[in-house]
Structure 1
């Protein structure tokens, strides 16, 4: 019953935005973008922190209109930065921690815009990439690991900022094309082509991004570092072929195909393979 109600509510919102697009296009654009960019889960409260994050040193950083935390687990001079995905937070990396900590490295993590302890209610890849760049300017990590849309933010970051400290990057279940994300969103709400075009215009005017040119393959083609791309063939959130697109542009990446992990990609064997790649190769 709840599922039927939620579907009805979503379609009703989409219908309302469609009507607005012909009468008040600016209002329709604002509302459509709000529902696209505002996460409904993943926030944390300081008084109810996951145990793994309580063990970290937490530094709050200000960037433009945002405040966001940098979590730090001290170790040696090798530094890894972890970037979570949509409607998540830095605690999602807890299953991977034992494999990364074997090397004694220093681990860093952040909460993305409007996630975890970060302020705001808007999430987008350009802002997330600026968060990542802020950490790189301060700590100069050598390794970057991103999950889901966090992986896209990692690609966007290195494509635009070209950090000289970055040596290896790991992408797990990352989407490739912004246009696909927008089309899936439009299909979910039942948005008409006028609203989609309004969103395309909005992305270009605000972020200087042409949605049909925001392609993982294109971003990855500028990478000169080595890394791993891994995706599960049973992923029902981001299509397996999305990572294949990224791999076609990133010539120095090793592709690891998994099965049965879903979108989370949490898996002992996969993490052992990543540990071996990062610290013994």
Structure 2
């Protein structure tokens, strides 16, 4: 069954890529628009308001206004020490269940959010600059001192601190995050077998959308000037984001500690790792 699903997924992605490539000869701008849409719209991660996961139903839920959109937040109330959790691509705040159980032992207030177009948050498009604006809105509202991000959420945390330079932020934990945006983009192009014309137009659209060259969107470059304390964890068996991506960020971020794990894959769900994160956040330096 798993092999069949892989075959069907391969056929679907190649068929989409072929359609976009053919379109590029007659309607190049529309082909780039479609390629961008498939690149930025999550297909998973939405939540049914009538079937909220148990860990989220224990929290105080609040929808925070963000322009004409809403950011869904969840707060497990505690003391004045606040921690913000930022999930990754095609996910939602419930992915933090195991670490929330660990962190609540500290008595801290824990806040998690659903990213753009995921969970119960509004929107259709997920991208790091927009997600960083979400994070900034929630940081201003709750003023947490600790930030934990996984995968694209981790990359968002790095971009957030690089862009906004929040002086209140004391420590940051980055789990399984990519460093080079171009690696993510090139993997997407390869998956769909996009031709050079569509690839060029897609990069142009991204540059115009975010006012930044995709080749300059680099987590290790962003982190190179960080002075706050960091903890970076990456698994050698990560099949989604290369282990070398985590190492690059750690090498550039001079005040960060790097944890190499094995056998945890991309999710990094592990009680032992969560304990190390707990010690990093709450034990005296």
SS at match of 1:276: helix
Give the distance between the partners of 1:216 and 1:10, measured in 2 at CA. Answer: 28
| Equivalent residue number for residue 205 of structure 2 | 202
| Equivalent residue number for residue 160 of structure 1 | 163
| Equivalent residue number for residue 273 of structure 1 | 276
Give the distance between the partners of 2:112 and 2:251, measured in 1 at CA. Answer: 28
Deviations 1:203-242 (A, max 9, x none): 1111012111101111111311001000000000110001
- Matching of residue 69 in structure 1 with residue 75 in structure 2: no
SS at match of 2:206: helix
Task: Map 1:103-118; keep pairs closer than 5 Å.
Answer: 103-118=106-121
1:84 positional shift: 0.4
1:98 positional shift: 2.1
Give the distance between the partners of 2:113 and 2:145, measured in 1 at CA. Answer: 16
Task: Map 1:110-149; keep pairs closer than 5 Å.
Answer: 110-149=113-152
Contact kept, 8 Å, 1:66 with 1:113, in 2: the verdict is: no
Pick from 178, 183, 188 the counterpart of residue 186 of structure 2.
Answer: 183
Normalising to structure 2: TM-score of the pair? 0.96
| Equivalent residue number for residue 244 of structure 1 | 247
Give the distance between the partners of 2:264 and 2:9, measured in 1 at CA. Answer: 27
- Matching of residue 257 in structure 1 with residue 236 in structure 2: no
Normalising to structure 1: TM-score of the pair? 0.98
Task: Point out where structure 1 has 5 or more consecutive residues left out of the alignment.
Answer: none
Task: Point out where structure 2 has 5 or more consecutive residues left out of the alignment.
Answer: none
